[in-house]
Amino acid sequence: MSRATGIYITTTPPWASPCVQLLPTMPRLSVDRVCAAVQTTFPTANAAVKLLQKLGILTELTGQKKNRTFSYAAYVEMISQPNTKSG
């Protein structure tokens, strides 16, 4: 389990792990931003993003084939909820 995300991925390839760890700090991202943040190639970052999308962790927002933007929707939704705890 990734401590940062709380997500269990039992068959994560080693090249996907940096992308998973990046999600809480970059809940909306593009493949280019992943490349820069984890210092990897476009094909590697694209494969990681595709895997996370296939697992339902990332959602593609643009509907385009190029320059796509993805969202870690569960995290965005969680931090968007008003804090209902009092005291």
Which pLDDT band holds residue 31 (cuts at 50, 70, 90)? very high
Specify whether the CB–CB gap between 69 and 62 falls below 8 A.
yes
Query: For the segment 64-79, what is each residue's pLDDT rounded down to a tens digit?
Result: 888 999 998 777 777 7
Across the beta sheet with 28-29, the strand order is 28-29, 70-71, 59-60
CATH no., domain 17-75? 1.10.10.10
